[in-house]
Structure 1
Amino acid sequence: MDLRAWADRAVAEISAWQREFGDAEPHPDAVVPEARFTAGFDELLGRLRETYPFHHPRYFGQLIKPPHPVAAAGYLAAMLLNPNNHALDGGPATTELEREAVDSLAGMLGIPGALGHLTGSGTVANLESLFVAREIHPGAAVAGSAEAHYTHARTCHLLGVPFVPIPADPAGRMDVAALERQLRARRIGTVVLTAGTTGLGALDPVPEVLELRRRHGFRIHVDAACGGFFALIADDAPDGVAAAPFRALAECDSVVVDPHKHGLQPYGCGAVLFADPSVRRFYRHESPWTYFTSDEPHLGEISLECSRPGAAAAALWLTFRLLPPTPDGLGRLLRASRRAALRWAELLERSPVLSAYQRPELDVLAVVPEAGSMSEIDRRTEAILRGGMADGSAYLAAMEVTAGDLHRRGHRPRADRDRARILRGALLKPEHEHWIGTCHAAVEELARRAAG
């Protein structure tokens, strides 16, 4: 699709609709002279070239990629109107679009009928989930894996809730035996599980923790910000992912997912879903100047955020309309990313200068430069990162690991220091399926230079 043509049509259509209310000249103080705008806009475009090439498969560092042109077109069309999905009168059309899009997310995750809404990010979505957790179990602690995103411990600090880190097993998943020991030792009201950790894409053992819940009676919140869309290919197929953790989401109390990762959306677009719609009671508040146009519930009445972009809802709705969250829709793109990760793991098995930190569960891989000591691994990681960015051949990220982390996974560097950085790649783009050989060759060459 030609995004420029559709952007032009959006501007024309919205402008025509606005003129139906009568021509309204902009206030003279709001008018920017054309020459001044041109100069400022040219400067902006020049500054944007300082961004890394997120659009290209050579970039496979952080969990970042541009939105699909469909999402960009939908966002632009609604942004010209600038609806606010806090109250119905702020976004009457986009509120309905948000409800439909959230229903699609709930169906994808196996929790139809869930209460939910879009958020500015996964961080805000997780904040809302832990806020509800605190209200249901006041005074109780929240437990989460030591490999979970740092936002959970930070959010607990913000909410005044104790956070209990649970050790991870050698694959980066929550250690269920360690969790059970903590459940016996102290009052834990909510356990946070991660379906796709940010660092490794690891899947916590949701079914096993559900068994513990039957004995100990805690809530389960699943942070699926990174991995939630993999529910579309959770079929145990060779190019799919493990089915059990995703099927078990239907029995959990709340789930967070980020459409601005694998859902092809622009930032920020997170979502939170609650299996029990009655948790809306914890959001209850008064706003005598806001909720007056309808007795129907407003999205602001089930959200901690107030102003929320209706454009994000329009973008997600249009994307789902054209690329639905089904195995044959968006699932095809997830499967391509998964095949790319598996192919890279195969190439790493044959590399003399690189090795996989562990086998990927989704589309994220950590890669260890082959070296004899922790300090040399760290030095080579730095050289590969800087070298790839300097010549444009590969844009990677890094993560810090301990000597123990490496030893548990079969790597045996000399522990002349406790911590070192290793490489990390996120193959979010389906195009990586066709580029992974080129990307691997580039990283391998950078590793040879670093070694020699």
Structure 2
Amino acid sequence: MGAPWQHLFHPANADRYRQAVGSAVDHLVDHLGGTAGRPLTGITPREAAERVAAVDLDRPLGAGPDALAELSRLWLDDAIWFHEPTAAAHLNCPVVIPALAAEVFISGVNSSLDTFDQSAGATFIERHLVDWTAARIGYDDQADGIFTTGGTQSNLQALLLALGQQAAPAERLRIFASADGHFSVQKAARMLGLGDAAVVPVPVDLSRRMDPAALSTALSDSVERGDVPMAVVATAGTTDFGAIDPLPEVAALARAYGAWFHVDAAYGGGLLVSPRRRDWLEGIELSDSVAVDYHKTWFQPVSCSALLVRDGATLGHVTWHADYLNPKDSAHPNQVDKSLQTTRRFEALKLWMSLRVMGADAIGEHLDTVIDLADAVAAELTAMPDIDVAAAPQLSTIVFRSCPPGVADEAALAALNAAIRAELFDDGRALVAATKVDGRSYLKLTLLNPIATVDDVLGVVEMVRGAGRRIAGESAAPRAPRQRLAVAR
């Protein structure tokens, strides 16, 4: 196999590196052009597991085509391709090319962003992006933040900072979040030792937004019981409906009760660069902290996210000084002082390169495009007699289900739509998600592909309708169209 150091990224191996990366890019592009309009193959977990388990990791294949061929067989041949318009299940986006170019530098140089003496200029690139995002939110120059692995980590750290502001016993602390909010709030409460009962779900209105009146009642009732409102978490873009909670009203209630106000904008944070819809985030500037996932509506590769805080001093709750890493008397600006992580990749470079090559407006236009797409598709769906749309879309998700004639029982509808989703996955035609709304089973389209057209998405819907009619054993029968839904904003 040759000397082991021949595989190190080193000037002596520059030609070998260039060849290896070039071969990998060529191999990937070959796969990219051979997806044949399908987002997946529908491989079963058992098949995938057996293929991987059969590999003897103690017998390397060496540099060359064998390793790439094996990679295709184990993964790429059956990978989920999010650039395909028929991949419409989850909040996974096709990614912009400048960010992919950045990955070459991130991996090759291998900077770690915990301390300045491991990253140098990278420290300030990240800090500049934090300041820029904070300014987009509407924070002043006291703001700060840190890049994270995703919204789950950002929400955890935000609630940790909220906890650090409290002197009350942990068992009395309460977190108020929309009933449609992200499950990471409950996970964070567990990880912080507060328990499941610490999270108070707040009912939503007909537009699936947190109901301020219900929040007011929940806060008042909690205080009357002797509990302490630790935090109120508003969502700017719920996972299922893309709903944006009424941020100004929620902010006022949080402030009235002395609670930390956090906005989970993991999904909707891309509106910060939207040329047409930035005003949808009105009130976000009133928050104490914001979670933003650049790897969702900013079209960056996973992972690329951040937690932003109004007052940078609050990040001190996660600071710990180690003499061997970031001593108190260090003359360098160390990012580990405000991060839950120690070693951290230079993920910020992806966003930096995207902004420097494309510009913020271009990224925002991608998001505006998929929101327009969701509105147009939803308008078509509400006129279909065998399709039930749960609510008008607010960002780029559509929650709907197949309701063929003669199938009205909820249990039967749940089984039918589960079977439709499985069929589309198994034959690789389309990838749609599943969810529940008020206990009822639905399918979901998550549209994050700005190249997709209305016809592309309606093609997926027709697959759902056709499978629904066939599985139900009935032909499509004409029925009076449902009333079109007005798009809620």
The bucket for the TM-score relative to the shorter chain is: 0.7 to 0.9
Aligned mate of 1:442, from 463, 466, 470: 463
Q: Which residue does the alignment assign to 1:41?
A: 68
Match of 2:273, SS state, is helix
Cα RMSD after superposing both structures: 2.3
Alignment partners' CA distance in 1, 2:210 and 2:80: 34
Please give the per-residue CA displacement for 1:423-446, whole angstroms capped at 9, x wherever unaligned.
011101101235333333333333
- 1:353 Cα shift? 1.7
Aligned to 2:339: 303
User: What is the aligned counterpart of 1:106 among 134, 139, 155?
Assistant: 134
Q: CA deviation at 1:291?
A: 2.6
Which range is displaced more, 264-273 or 433-442? 433-442
Q: Report if aligned partners of 1:354, 1:447 keep a CA contact under 8 Å in 2.
A: no
Query: Which of 343, 364, 367 is residue 400 of structure 2 equivalent to?
Result: 367
1:154-181 Cα deviation digits (max 9, x unpaired): 1112112322222222322212222112
The answer to whether residue 265 in structure 2 is matched with residue 224 in structure 1 is yes
Other structure's SS at 2:468 match = helix
1:116-135 counterparts in 2 under 5 A?
A: 116-135=145-164
Partner deviation per Cα, 1:165-204 (whole Å, 9 max, x = no partner): 2222232221222211222222202101100011221111
Q: How does 1:337-416 map to 2 (within 5 A)?
A: 337-370=370-403, 371-401=407-437, 405=438
- Taking structure 1 as the reference length, the TM-score comes to 0.83
Judging changes above 3 Å, is the alpha-carbon distance between structure 1 residues 214 and 294 closer, same or farther for their aligned structure 2 residues?
closer
2:88–2:447 Cα contact (<8 Å) kept: yes
Q: For the residues of structure 2 that align with 1:93 and 1:16, how far apart are their CA atoms?
A: 21
Shift in CA distance, 431/448, structure 1 to aligned 2, threshold 3 Å: farther
Indicate conservation of the 8 Å contact 1:100/1:317, yes or no: no
Please give the secondary structure, in 1, of the residue aligned with 2:216: helix
Please say if residues 111 and 249 of structure 1, whose CA atoms lie closer than 8 Å, have aligned partners that are also in contact.
Answer: no
8 A contact 1:110–1:247 mirrored in 2: no
Structure 1 CA distance, aligned partners of 2:63 and 2:264?
46
CA contact (8 A) 1:300 1:306 kept: yes
Superposition TM-score, scaled by structure 2 size: 0.77
| Cα distance change, pair 445–104 in 1 and its aligned pair in 2 (3 A) | farther
Provide structure 1 residue ranges, at least 5 long, that are not aligned to the other structure.
Answer: 1-13, 20-31, 406-418
8 Å CA contact 1:333–1:430 kept in 2: the answer is yes
Distance 2:118 2:466 in 1: 54
Q: Does 1:212 align with 2:233?
A: no
Show CA shifts across 1:250-307 (max 9, x none). Answer: 1111000101111122212221000011213213311111136962421111111111
SS in 2 for 1:180: helix
- In the alignment, the residues of structure 1 paired with residue 464 and residue 294 of structure 2 have an alpha-carbon distance, to the nearest angstrom, of 29
Deviates more, 1:207-216 or 1:87-96: 207-216
**Which residue number in structure 2 is paired with residue 24 of structure 1?**
none
Q: Structure 2 vs 1, CA of residues 347 and 393 (structure 1 numbering), >3 Å: closer, same or farther?
A: farther
In the alignment, structure 2 segments of 5+ residues that lack a partner are 1-8, 15-58, 475-489
Partners of 1:248 and 1:229 in 2: CA distance: 15
In 1, Cα distance between the equivalents of 2:383 and 2:179? 31
- Establish whether residue 423 from structure 1 lines up as the match of residue 443 from structure 2: yes
> Does the Cα contact within 8 Å between 2:233 and 2:264 map onto a contact in 1?
yes
- Output one character per residue of 1:198-233: Cα deviation in whole Å (capped at 9) or x when no partner: 122111111111232343232210000111112333
What is the CA–CA distance in structure 2 between the aligned matches of 1:340 and 1:179, rounded to whole Å? 32
| Distance in 2, Cα, partners of 1:93 & 1:331 | 27
Match of 1:170 among 206, 211, 216: 206
Superposed, 1:238-317 pairs within 5 Å as: 240=277, 243-244=279-280, 246-291=281-326, 295-310=331-346, 312-317=347-352
Which whole-Å CA distance do the structure 2 matches of 1:320 and 1:395 have between them? 30
